[in-house]
Amino acid sequence: MAASAGDIRAGIEPLVIAAGAELDDLQIQAAGRREIVRVVVDRDGGVDLDLVSDVSRAISAVLDAEPLNSQFAGTFVLEVTSPGVDRPLTDVKHWRRAIDRLVEATLADGTSVTGRIVSVDADHVVLEVVSGKVHERRTVAHADLVRGLVQVEFNRVAPGADLPELLTTDDEGADDGH
């Protein structure tokens, strides 16, 4: 007997909410004689390791006890994680949680636009689009958005962050170019 995702969700969702997060996704997958229970949690401001650890412990205790432990035919592996950067932005809350991130947005007319999310409200997403040296703010209705994908930026410095001193002008100790 495979575990019922509906029963598991009903049993663990209150724990996730009590921890200040949202149950973003629940998947139960057979893997040999055991099942993998994959729980994805998210919240505004992001998910840190402390939250994942707390939620994991709480869910584990509930899944190990009756009545939920009888849902599993054998053993199970619990994985609690946050959404990956590759999760498509399809809901208003996804867009809101990605404010200040660079995204490629696919529009309902088949075009796409790449820009940084400036703000999100119930009806619109405001993107700062850069084309050469021109910065333009573009407002897109949620109804016109098919999905967005966060673009990974390896060299971006967060606004207001202190830059590390990577180069010095002190040549003391130089060995004449050798």
Query: In the chain, pLDDT over 90 holds for what percent of residues?
Result: 62
What class, spelled out in words, does domain 92-150 have in CATH? mainly beta
pLDDT at 114 over 90: yes
Q: How confident is the model at residue 33 (pLDDT cuts 50, 70, 90)?
A: confident
Which residue spans of the chain are classified as CATH 2.30.30.100? 92-150
| Superfamily for domain range 5-81 | RimP-like superfamily, N-terminal (3.30.300.70)
Least confident stretch, 41-45, 115-119, 131-135? 131-135
The residue ranges of DSSP E strands in the chain, in sequence order, are 22-31, 34-42, 76-81, 102-107, 112-120, 124-131, 134-141, 145-150
Sheet of 145-150, strands arranged across: 134-141, 124-131, 112-120, 102-107, 145-150
Better-scored residue on pLDDT, 176 or 64: 64
pTM: 0.71
Which residue spans of the chain are classified as CATH 3.30.300.70? 5-81
Better-scored residue on pLDDT, 122 or 174: 122
Would you list the DSSP string of 26-58? EEEEEETTEEEEEEEEE-TT---HHHHHHHHHH
